[in-house]
Amino acid sequence: MQTTKSVAMALALSVLSVSAVAKMSAEDVARLGNDLTPMGAIKAGSEDGLIPEWTGSVIGLPPGVQWDGPGKPYPNPWPDEKPLFVITKDNLDQYRARLSPGQIALFETYPETFRMPVYPGHREFAYYPKYYEKVRYNAEHSDLTNDNEGITGFIGGATFPVPTTGPEAVWFTRTTGAYETVDGEYSDIAVFPNETRSVRRSQFLQESPYASRNNPISADYEYPKLGDYAGYIMTYVTEPARDKGLITTVQEPFDYSQTDREVWRYLPGSRRVRRAPTVGFDTPDGPGGLKTVDEVRGFNGSMERFDWKLLGREEIFIPYHNYQLDDPDVSYDELLTKHHINPDYMRYELKRVWVAEATLKEGQRHIYAKRRLYVDEDTGLTVITENYDGRGELWKVALTTNFYEYGGQAYDRRVEMYHDLRAGAYIAERLINDSAPMLYDVNEVKGPAYFSPSNIRKLGKR
């Protein structure tokens, strides 16, 4: 197994000598839906069977599963499954080869409490068919431009399903969103070593015009035909009381070399709208400021300060199908244990992931000198992120959970957990245990004007 992994990584590294970023080769495109899945993943299972063969036989609600529909809790499709085994400090060496350095660091930092229950792998869920058609179109047409900051030939859906460079792997996870609208209410909670908490609760709305399922698959709908922005985001803070009424809108571009990220805030104290200064890179974010703006969803924003390379494809135990984590019957007192989320509510499966690494460019500034992303090959979602300081020491580790959303027939990110190993603290973001699940492609599109400074002024003064 290790020999296979080494060969795969060597092959991946060999492509880094290519000076220009090019479309996917015709040979790789032809493999999509054959020996590769429509998302570019290896269809075959692993030699030991822990990774099953991909079937894609279930689109939407699985047979026998009862679900009350959008806005209602998502039932676990395998409620009777038990872990195959649990990784602990005592058997860590047995599984070390299939753990990332960040996961190993969590075991070493919290040896008495951190553990990983590993469940049977599942690869029967598939995205809705048109999504895969978009992925194939992108594979045939998409290129990176402007020093990897921009993209051409993109119509929504994931790009570069078989990445050959680090930037392509970043764009794979950056473009994998399957929903035009996502809205609801959630909590971001920081947990400190003394077990005190800092809570930020927000109403959330995101619109992504290129993800619309009504868009025809044609060059007429390629970026930037629908506008320069990949997404429009609005948050309305409801807790804590001192920040209640704070509205933030973000207009997120696709090409950071051509269009800046626009951030506007309505300040309830002064009843005024202010344009935020530069919000990006290592700007502190979240309760307690334990993470940076550009590590949300693994990595976001301009890549200009880092050199990215692809390390290859590996088999890693990663968070997957984390329905139990969202159980409304689980209180935050039970879920948010010291140093990390209660492992009893986590689920890990063995998956193949693309691994991309970034190194800070000479002369550039950032609190992280090196960062590493682990991107699930089946979904394009970032599942693990590791960030290193200027001395080369591992500092922060993020784990991102996911689930298959029955109504929209697609995978999406769920709770994101950012661990500061030095501080012994962490943030768990997008928690919905005390609220309804998010709504995916349910409500009507409001359009770019809804996210404008003039409109948030109106919303704030109501």
User: Given this model, what pLDDT does residue 22 score?
Assistant: 56
User: Given this model, what pLDDT does residue 276 score?
Assistant: 86
Of 17-26, 115-124, 157-166, 387-396, the least confident: 17-26
305 φ, ψ to 5°? Answer: -90, -5
Q: Which CATH number fits domain 2-461: 2.50.20.10, 3.40.50.12780, 1.10.3720.10, 2.40.128.20?
A: 2.50.20.10
Surface-to-core class of residue 451, CB atoms within 10 Å of its CB (0-12 exposed, 13-18 middle, 19+ buried): buried
Surface-to-core class of residue 245, CB atoms within 10 Å of its CB (0-12 exposed, 13-18 middle, 19+ buried): middle
Report the length, in residues, of the chain: 462
Proportion of the chain in helix, strand, coil states, percent, rounded to 5: 20, 30, 50
* Residue 189 tokens, joined: 């909670």
Is 15 a residue whose pLDDT tops 60?
no
* Residue 418 tokens, joined: 């950012």
Is 330 a residue whose pLDDT tops 60?
yes
Average pLDDT, the chain: 93
User: Given this model, what pLDDT does residue 348 score?
Assistant: 98
Tokens 């998502």 locate to: 74
pLDDT, mean of residues 319-340: 97
User: Given this model, what pLDDT does residue 461 score?
Assistant: 80
C-beta separation of 230 from 275 below 8 A: no
What pLDDT digit, counting tens, does each position of 233-260 carry? 999 999 999 999 999 999 999 999 999 9
pLDDT, mean of residues 312-331: 97
Percent of the chain, pLDDT > 70?
Answer: 95
What pLDDT digit, counting tens, does each position of 304-317 carry? 999 999 999 999 99
What pLDDT digit, counting tens, does each position of 190-230 carry? 999 999 999 999 999 999 999 999 999 999 999 999 999 99
CA distance 377 to 178: 15
278 CB-near residues (< 8 Å, 6+ apart): none
What pLDDT digit, counting tens, does each position of 96-135 carry? 999 999 999 999 999 999 999 999 999 999 999 999 999 9
Domain limits of the chain? Answer: 2-461
User: Given this model, what pLDDT does residue 1 score?
Assistant: 40
Is 4 a residue whose pLDDT tops 60?
no
Is 277 a residue whose pLDDT tops 90?
no
